[in-house]
A and B are shown apart, each in its own frame.
Chain A
């Protein structure tokens, strides 16, 4: 199918393009930027006047809830949510049920996802069997089955010897290890940041040192083993400073934050709003501001949605009993734009944080719109406002602290491999 994207503001951060340029697609690839190829007859012309044309978003964490957790959400609903949010590639953590510790499960997931012909799914393989933290998984086999890297999701990995060996084994094959720093004992039963708000509300809490102590362990073991490490979902000022120092020492480390943590703090819990029950917890304003600044200066490499659809029954509970998580695939773009607008970050830099930078972390070729690239494209209206309400979300998870809020930035078209997989109803 030949597609001509006309008159859009093309923002391709990696190739340093930010200009009104047409894009020409054929056989799923970008065949020309700016000038039409000879005798190009488009099957479809997309009028992108007033719209931004950018690489499809790459979300470093989105839970699809399959296999096993289909009552919360399904591949079908969440993949639809992804493309409605302009996300053309997403990374799925291994904490499905059963966890992604067997090649067969990974193959099935990839197959199912591919057959839906929507976004690309990059599964993370479980670092240990059953995510139990004791025995290694067949990482090489899992990689062959399609796992892009290995992670321990939110399951505790207490045994430092096991962590050391898992990293060393991964390093053998050059696999990256994704870890979220959280000391299990210090965070046991905690549901909110150990600070003023948790004290006032009487909520069991998790101190920042639960993150920094675990982070220190991860960084030192990474140095020891030479493993490439990606730190998931930083939440504290101190944690960010530790990563900054490690990078300055030349360590091969990258990190991300969840988009909600770039906007919200413990104050937003208000009267026990369980939509603000997140992992890691929303910390104080100082931490939030550090996250916002670290995204701007590049210490934090990428933003992800950390999409976690949760059914109503699991949210409409007393705060500490509610399930943690927020829906995010459809909010990643508008919330990134909101952060950028508030922080004075130019649009192309903002887009880089959800396209080229995640691509670099993943080590995949997409995330930019050079010649010959797969046509994974997001076309959005940066001015359009829309209200976050259940009927506006395609995800089965309606759990977001931004319910009722009007956000700016609406996806009009999404293409994956040159196919129009999403078109907004006007």
Chain B
């Protein structure tokens, strides 16, 4: 196996491609760095000059307004110049290869690429190809990883639960197709969470998922029992069309997070969701808007965490 492509020869973070392979120390460093950026957001002038003069390119081969916007806000709060590229619309459809597109943009004095792509491994490919001074942040590649989401989820858990070493965390839903779930699982296990559970029907669990270090449950009541953190994953309509689930209704009845299912968890359990939510499919509105939900803070923390990631990369 080659060296970890995310680290440079000094062991500093050069790219953020996946949580896998990063030490607990590195993860904590990112979370600690995000902390002061939260207070920057509470000032009137929400900017710091850290990345002034740097050009950050948002390369979104897979469309996403939410994630792109949070990266844009984060970059601008660091005083960086942000250029947004919706690649699907332009060169890719003209048959330009992925790496040709990247080369053209690098020639425009890019310092950092934020990449989202429908294929697993796309961010790794780009990172292995760009010049040494260019940093790559994976904003989601296929089903593989969404490291900034994993990190902001950890930041949120730490904010509300203080420690990792005594938690039970349950991830509920379409683990098979979820890059968010994979990143969360790596982060939770690396940070020492003693019990990580996945809860889903068998059709939504990938082969050998237990090798990632999780306990597998197919039943919400059993799976949520005494859990401290409940993370709900979004269910996409394709799953019904692909013969993985019969209907959203049956899914909601057996796997949707409602108040009575949540009652199996600890009374002070927090409810998280990476968004966007499908109300009435994976989560009931009463829970999404309820007092245990930390879904909105997740969004705020997302900007601070992304500011931290970009600062650490740009400074390496």
A–B in direct contact per CB < 8 Å: yes
| A200 and B97 within 8 A (CB) | no
Q: Does A71 contact B (CB under 8 A)?
A: no
Stretch binding the partner chain, chosen from A123-131, A231-239, A316-324: A316-324
Stretch binding the partner chain, chosen from A90-98, A201-209, A252-260, A391-399: A201-209
A127 and B141 CA atoms in complex are apart in Å by: 39
Contact among B2, B128, B144 with A201 in the assembled complex (CB-CB below 8 Å): B144
Given A313-B97, A320-B120, A320-B121, 10 more A-B residue pairs with CB atoms under 8 Å apart are: A198-B207, A199-B207, A199-B209, A201-B120, A271-B1, A271-B2, A318-B98, A318-B121, A318-B141, A321-B119
Q: Which residues of B contact A199 (CB under 8 A)?
A: 206-209, 211-212
Q: Does B5 contact A (CB under 8 A)?
A: yes
| B2 and A272 within 8 A (CB) | no
Instruction: Using CB atoms, name the residue of chain A closest to B126.
Output: A318
| B207 and A270 within 8 A (CB) | no
Q: Which residues of A contact B120 (CB under 8 A)?
A: 201-203, 272, 318-320
A180 CB to closest chain B CB, in angstroms? 22
B179 CB to closest chain A CB, in angstroms? 6
A297 CB to closest chain B CB, in angstroms? 29
| A202 and B97 within 8 A (CB) | no
A196 CB to closest chain B CB, in angstroms? 4
A32 and B182 CA atoms in complex are apart in Å by: 66
Chain A interfacial positions (CB closer than 8 Å to B):
194-196, 198-203, 205, 207, 270-272, 313, 316-321
Q: Which residues of B contact A201 (CB under 8 A)?
A: 120-121, 144
| B125 and A316 within 8 A (CB) | yes
A270 and B125 CA atoms in complex are apart in Å by: 12
5 contacts between A and B (CB under 8 A): A199-B206, A200-B20, A202-B142, A202-B143, A318-B120
Instruction: Using CB atoms, name the residue of chain B closest to A192.
Output: B120
| B121 and A270 within 8 A (CB) | no
A276 and B179 CA atoms in complex are apart in Å by: 22
A13 CB to closest chain B CB, in angstroms? 37
A400 and B1 CA atoms in complex are apart in Å by: 15
| B121 and A319 within 8 A (CB) | yes
CB-CB under 8 A for A198 and B206, given A318-B98, A318-B117: yes
Instruction: Using CB atoms, name the residue of chain B closest to A271.
Output: B124
A12 and B285 CA atoms in complex are apart in Å by: 77
Q: Which residues of B contact A195 (CB under 8 A)?
A: 207-208
Q: Does B240 contact A (CB under 8 A)?
A: no
> Most B CB atoms within 10 A — which of A194, A196, A199, A313?
A199
Q: List 8 A-B pairs, minimum CB-CB distance, nearest first.
A: A202-B143, A272-B121, A318-B119, A202-B144, A199-B206, A202-B120, A196-B208, A318-B122
CB-CB under 8 A for A196 and B211, given A202-B144, A316-B99, A318-B125: yes
B139 CB to closest chain A CB, in angstroms? 15
Q: Which residues of A contact B143 (CB under 8 A)?
A: 202-203
Instruction: Using CB atoms, name the residue of chain B closest to A284.
Output: B208
CB contacts under 8 Å to A, within B165-214, are: 179, 182, 206-209, 211-212
A193 CB to closest chain B CB, in angstroms? 9
A202 and B124 CA atoms in complex are apart in Å by: 13
A316 and B99 CA atoms in complex are apart in Å by: 8
A318 and B122 CA atoms in complex are apart in Å by: 5
| A270 and B142 within 8 A (CB) | no
Q: Which residues of B contact A317 (CB under 8 A)?
A: 97-98, 125
A175 CB to closest chain B CB, in angstroms? 38
Q: Does B151 contact A (CB under 8 A)?
A: no
Q: Which residues of A contact B99 (CB under 8 A)?
A: 316
Q: Which residues of A contact B144 (CB under 8 A)?
A: 201-203
Q: Does B16 contact A (CB under 8 A)?
A: no
A320 CB to closest chain B CB, in angstroms? 5
Q: Does B227 contact A (CB under 8 A)?
A: no
B104 CB to closest chain A CB, in angstroms? 16
Q: Does B308 contact A (CB under 8 A)?
A: no
A316 and B125 CA atoms in complex are apart in Å by: 8
